[in-house]
């Protein structure tokens, strides 16, 4: 193409770039100047490509024009020039979402499951099973209930479950067949394990074949445990008043004791909040001290009951052992049985056995493995005392 025709075909902007170079000799074509625009603005280093495509000066001019056009395009992008917007009347109408046939955003609540004697417990969710048991326990948690009650026939407990599921009823029947005729209830306030064990512990001493000897042994065991409390940092002034309440009851056992303790006096003492709570607090401190002083036995089992993360002994005890109102689990039960040197048996009434079988958990911690155990009844979230007699002895 003749130079004049080529120049006429360029735009004014392109001609302004090309024209100075056309005025000189093609052999003197300044490649660096010709490509400086592209190199400065283009995102790609296209100079090597131009040299390959145009090894001679005669074809370099065409490549230069191509790169110039490309450079202009790149600069337009960098300037972010907005695209032309069509007038509003040229835009298509916005689509309208359908208003019918949509799912209900406020669905009705599912119909409650009716649980009766024909309900198969295997078909219940854990939440439904827990709710079933909690409905029965509601009265136990009532503040109108005594902290610890007189012995009642186990048939009373059976009647409370008859309108629920027969699996619980069958387990209660199994306990009755094993000789447990009664139940002593405790208030379900989170302290029920400690209160139940403390009462049953003292009552076993009081009703034993040699109450005086048994009381002396019990006091000796408690006295020997006091260094544990100081060993983990509990100040004597922080626990001695609580200990005195428990010690005072044990010292009243025996024919030679001043103001001898009777079964009715023991029940009355545990129904008094100031006495009952003091004993619970002392047992909680003993439990905490035992856990802290025996890390080899307990550290591997100290998990947060809600989040599952492992805890240090100190954090676990300060959170779940020492404060009142915190329920006890296997760790606390093991620790307290050890520090008191007690045999403890716990019957699990959980409604999981269709044939009425009752599972037992035993803590053999007394020096004499044949020593009579303290026997408790566990229902999810609550502890009571199992009794061989069906009513309170006066």
Q: Which two tokens stand for residue 221?
A: 């065991």
Report the top-level CATH class of 121-387.
mainly alpha
Separation CA 205–CA 215 (nearest Å): 6
Which residue pairs, CB below 8 angstroms and at least 24 apart, start in 323-328? 323/284, 324/190, 324/191, 324/277, 324/280, 324/281, 324/284, 325/189, 325/190, 325/191, 326/190, 327/190, 327/192, 327/193, 327/381, 328/193, 328/194, 328/287, 328/383
- CA dist 111 → 34, 108, 123, 127, 218 (Å): 82, 9, 16, 15, 55
Tell me what pLDDT residue 288 has: 98
Tell me what pLDDT residue 58 has: 47
Please spell the DSSP secondary structure of 26-42, one letter per residue. Answer: GGG--HHHHHHHHHHH-
For the beta carbon of residue 300, count every other beta carbon within 10 angstroms.
9
pLDDT tens string for the chain (394 positions)? 444 444 444 445 444 444 444 344 444 444 444 444 444 444 444 444 444 445 544 454 455 555 555 555 545 555 544 545 555 555 555 555 555 555 555 545 445 555 544 455 456 565 655 555 555 555 545 568 899 999 999 999 999 999 887 899 999 999 999 999 999 999 999 999 999 999 999 999 999 999 999 999 999 999 999 999 999 999 999 999 999 999 999 999 988 888 999 999 999 999 999 999 999 999 999 999 999 999 999 999 999 999 999 999 999 999 999 999 999 999 999 999 999 999 999 999 998 888 999 999 999 999 998 999 999 999 999 999 999 999 997 6
Residue with tokens 């003749």: 2
Which of 134, 178, 203 has its CA nearest to residue 385?
203
Nearest 5°: the CA angle 384, 386, 389 is 135
Separation CA 307–CA 313 (nearest Å): 16
Separation CA 23–CA 41 (nearest Å): 25
Separation CA 346–CA 352 (nearest Å): 16
Report yes or no on whether pTM surpasses 0.85: no
Cβ pair 284, 238 in contact under 8 A: no
Q: Are strands 343-348 and 374-379 parallel, antiparallel or unpaired?
A: parallel
Nearest 5°: the CA angle 140, 330, 280 is 55
Which residue ranges make up each domain of the chain?
A: 3-78, 121-387
Cβ pair 154, 182 in contact under 8 A: yes
């Amino acid at each position: 193409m003749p130079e004049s025709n080529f120049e006429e075909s360029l735009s004014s902007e392109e001609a302004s770039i090309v024209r100075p170079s056309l005025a000189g000799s093609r052999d003197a074509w300044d490649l660096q100047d010709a490509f400086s625009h592209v190199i400065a603005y283009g995102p790609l280093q296209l100079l090597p490509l131009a040299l390959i495509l145009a090894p001679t000066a005669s074809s370099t001019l065409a490549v230069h024009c191509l790169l110039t056009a490309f450079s202009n395009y790149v600069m337009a992008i960098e300037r972010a020039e907005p695209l032309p917007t069509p007038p509003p009347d040229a835009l298509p109408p916005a689509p309208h979402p359908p208003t019918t046939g949509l799912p209900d955003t406020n669905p009705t609540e599912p119909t409650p499951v009716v649980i009766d004697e024909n309900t198969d417990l295997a078909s219940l969710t854990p939440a439904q099973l827990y709710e079933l048991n909690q409905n029965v326990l509601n009265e136990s948690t009532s503040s109108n209930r005594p902290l610890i009650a007189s012995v009642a026939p186990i048939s009373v407990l059976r009647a409370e479950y008859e309108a629920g599921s027969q699996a619980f009823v069958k387990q209660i029947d199994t306990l009755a067949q094993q000789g447990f005729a009664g139940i002593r209830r405790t208030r379900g306030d989170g302290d029920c394990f400690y209160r139940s064990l403390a009462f049953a512990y003292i009552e076993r001493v009081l009703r034993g074949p040699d109450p005086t000897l048994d009381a002396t042994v019990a006091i000796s065991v408690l006295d020997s445990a006091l260094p544990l409390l100081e060993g983990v940092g509990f100040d004597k002034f922080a626990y001695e008043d609580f200990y005195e309440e428990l010690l005072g009851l044990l010292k009243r056992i025996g024919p030679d004791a001043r103001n001898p303790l009777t079964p009715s006096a023991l029940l009355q003492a545990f129904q008094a909040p100031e006495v009952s709570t003091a004993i619970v607090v002392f047992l909680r401190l003993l439990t905490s001290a035992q856990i802290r002083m025996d890390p080899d036995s307990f550290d591997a089992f100290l998990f947060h009951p809600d989040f599952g993360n492992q805890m240090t002994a100190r954090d676990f005890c300060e959170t779940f052992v020492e404060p009142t109102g915190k329920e006890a689990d296997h760790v606390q039960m093991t620790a307290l049985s050890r520090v008191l040197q007690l045999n403890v048996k716990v019957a699990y009434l959980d409604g999981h056995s269709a044939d009425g079988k009752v599972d037992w958990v035993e803590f053999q911690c007394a020096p004499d493995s044949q020593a009579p155990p303290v026997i408790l009844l566990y229902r999810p979230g609550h502890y009571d005392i199992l009794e061989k007699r069906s009513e309170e002895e006066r």
